[in-house]
């Protein structure tokens, strides 16, 4: 009997010891906590039955803005009033101007800095590149558990565009998912000169307007371009993003820089630069910010959508603009990944980070606060769904950075049915035949990196017309070939052929 009692006491002691060890490591929000494995931070899932509340955590969120606002701390305080009540969490908002966003985030990510949410895109802090580097965690299970409404609200083909090797690595900030290229011109100047915008059917047709501005208003730049932001838009010239001519059912890709269309574009830009139509600092300017408001007459656009003119007015010093589409609307993979929110691999609280994504995408008060600021301070409501933004307000942000724009206000000048028309355009736009294809550069990683480095050197100069293509284009093409462009093209073709065989019906 005594032997049995001793054995029972030893067994109970072991249970107490194990319980103590287990409880001692449960510190997901502690300052010394290491990043948890993806999908396993140690937090109690929000949909799990539990007698207690979720432990309080602090999240860090990086995102891009046109300029960091003086009232940022006021916005953060209001954001945390909502987030703390609903998620028992607080958020440190870390906005960075778009001009330096990629450089700063590349540095932070490479250094293993701990943060939770991060804005990414195909044009800044590149989504595909960072997925391949392992900068983000896969989100499929986390979205099912903690963001089911967001998962349902976004079309399946948009989710497909985010996938890498079958898994989702970021949440699209759902907005227009179409590309429609063209130009915008200031309406007051068009009226002043008697310029009929309907006469512009091609990019070349814009030149008479540029000449009028140059002749009559020398203090205004006729065409404002930025180095990283000005691209050769393939669809405007009949190609898709993979260098395949639209309508070519052989799906033969080519190096776009070697096409006659590319040569014509850079020649046109150079002729305009030489005539003084383009800003002298075009190749080095990274973004159009408040310094340029009212100082330029036109710009090239890639996302012309319902309500576009009103949005442009709000970000262009209050000047009305006329949008001039030069193509039909098309949807493709890149137009579906122009703005996304990912969870960093260094996040200690990935579940709570995804809960915050769900909250931003389902709580209009929180979404509009991030997008427009504080009512009465940064904007005024004209009706239940429309706001007038104060052009001199001390808070500026882009609504498409944070979440689903269809949950947000319209801005003054946008028609009441803008969101309905945008959704209809999303559903009716021409779908490029290679939609869903994503190039994997693993087999040509060195060559691909070398090609991208050459592009980064020459594109800002050629795209803005700063240099003479007669000299620089042959030099550029030689360097592309030496960097391995043909090998990259051949690998792209191999993958495309395999993808077409599996996905395209004959």
Q: Are the beta carbons of 99 and 227 closer than 8 angstroms?
A: no
> Which structure tokens are listed for 219?
């203090």
Angle at 230 between CA 226 and CA 235, to 5 degrees: 165
The secondary structure of residue 342, as a DSSP letter, is E
Residue 234 CB coordination number (10 Å): 24
The reported pLDDT for the residue numbered 52 is 55
Whole-Å CA distances, 84 to 26, 74, 116, 355, 401: 21, 15, 16, 12, 22
- CA within 13 Å, CB half, 208: 12
> Which structure tokens are listed for 140?
């499929």
Contacts for 499 with CB less than 8 Å, ≥ 6 apart: 434, 436, 437
Confidence check: pLDDT of 27 > 50: no
Band of pLDDT at residue 40, cut at 50, 70 and 90: very low
Q: What are phi and psi of 303, to 5 degrees?
A: -135, 60
- CA within 13 Å, CB half, 337: 29
Contacts for 2 with CB less than 8 Å, ≥ 6 apart: none
Task: Give percent above pLDDT 90 in the chain.
Answer: 71
Model's pTM, two decimal places? 0.76
Architecture of domain 36-174+338-433: 3-Layer(aba) Sandwich (3.40)
Exposed/middle/buried for residue 211 (C-beta within 10 Å: 0-12, 13-18, 19+)? middle
Residue range 157-176, pLDDT digits in tens: 899 999 998 999 999 999 99
Band of pLDDT at residue 5, cut at 50, 70 and 90: very low
DSSP bridge partners of 60: 92
Residue range 95-154, pLDDT digits in tens: 999 989 999 999 999 999 999 999 999 989 999 999 999 999 999 999 999 999 999 999
- CA within 13 Å, CB half, 355: 23
**Cα 287 to Cα 65: distance, rounded to the nearest angstrom:** 10
370: closest CA among 396, 337, 339?
Answer: 396
**Cα 302 to Cα 259: distance, rounded to the nearest angstrom:** 21
Reduced to 3 states (helix: H, G, I; strand: E, B; else coil), residue 420 is: helix
> Which structure tokens are listed for 185?
């011109």
Q: 47 versus 247: which is more confidently predicted?
A: 247
**Cα 310 to Cα 107: distance, rounded to the nearest angstrom:** 36
Least confident span in 16-30, 283-297, 473-487: 16-30
**Cα 167 to Cα 122: distance, rounded to the nearest angstrom:** 17
Band of pLDDT at residue 25, cut at 50, 70 and 90: very low
Band of pLDDT at residue 340, cut at 50, 70 and 90: very high
**Cα 125 to Cα 140: distance, rounded to the nearest angstrom:** 22
């Amino acid at each position: 009997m005594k032997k049995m009692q001793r054995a029972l006491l030893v067994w109970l002691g072991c249970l107490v010891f194990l319980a103590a060890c287990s409880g001692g490591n449960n510190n997901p929000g502690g300052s010394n906590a290491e990043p948890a494995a993806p999908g396993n931070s140690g937090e109690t899932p929000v949909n799990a039955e539990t007698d207690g509340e979720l432990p309080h955590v602090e999240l860090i969120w990086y995102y891009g803005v046109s300029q960091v606002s003086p009232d940022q701390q006021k916005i953060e305080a209001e954001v945390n009033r909502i987030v703390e009540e609903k998620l028992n969490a607080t958020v440190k908002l870390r906005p960075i101007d778009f001009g330096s966003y990629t450089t700063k985030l590349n540095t932070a990510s490479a250094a293993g800095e701990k943060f939770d949410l991060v804005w990414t895109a195909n044009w800044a802090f590149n989504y595909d590149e960072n997925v391949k580097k392992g900068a983000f965690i896969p989100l499929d299970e986390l979205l099912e558990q903690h963001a089911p409404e967001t998962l349902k609200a976004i079309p399946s083909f948009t989710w497909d565009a985010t996938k890498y090797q079958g898994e989702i690595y970021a949440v699209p900030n759902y907005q227009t998912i179409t590309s429609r290229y063209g130009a915008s011109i200031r309406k007051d100047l068009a009226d002043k000169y008697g310029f009929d915008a309907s006469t512009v059917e091609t990019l070349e047709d814009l030149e008479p307007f540029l000449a009028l501005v140059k002749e009559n208003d020398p203090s205004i730049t006729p065409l404002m371009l930025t180095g990283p932001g000005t691209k050769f838009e393939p669809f405007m010239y009949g190609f898709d993003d993979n260098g395949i001519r639209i309508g070519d059912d052989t799906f033969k890709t080519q190096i776009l820089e070697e096409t006659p269309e590319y040569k014509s574009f850079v020649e046109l830009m150079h002729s305009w630069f030489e005539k003084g139509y383009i800003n002298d600092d075009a190749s080095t300017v990274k973004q159009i910010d408040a310094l340029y408001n009212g100082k330029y007459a036109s710009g090239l656009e890639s996302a012309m959508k319902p309500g576009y003119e009103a949005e442009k007015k709000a970000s262009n010093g209050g000047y009305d603009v006329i949008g001039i589409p030069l193509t039909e609307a098309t949807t493709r993979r890149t137009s579906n990944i122009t703005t996304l929110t990912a969870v960093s691999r260094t996040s200690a609280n990935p579940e709570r980070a995804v809960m915050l994504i769900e909250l931003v995408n389902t709580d209009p008060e929180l979404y509009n606060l991030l997008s427009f600021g504080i009512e009465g301070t940064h904007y005024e409501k004209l009706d239940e769904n429309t706001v007038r933004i104060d052009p001199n307000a001390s808070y500026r942000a882009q609504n498409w950075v944070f979440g689903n724009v269809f949950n947000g206000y319209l801005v003054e000048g946008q028609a009441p049915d803008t969101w309905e028309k945008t959704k209809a355009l999303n559903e009716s736009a021409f779908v490029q035949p290679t939609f869903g294809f994503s190039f994997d550069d693993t087999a040509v990683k060195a060559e691909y990196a070398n090609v991208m480095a050459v592009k980064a050197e020459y594109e800002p100069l050629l795209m803005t017309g700063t240099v003479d293509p007669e000299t620089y284009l042959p030099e550029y093409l030689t360097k592309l070939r030496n960097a391995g462009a043909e090998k990259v093209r051949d690998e792209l073709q191999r993958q495309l052929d395999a993808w077409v065989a599996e996905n395209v019906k004959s």
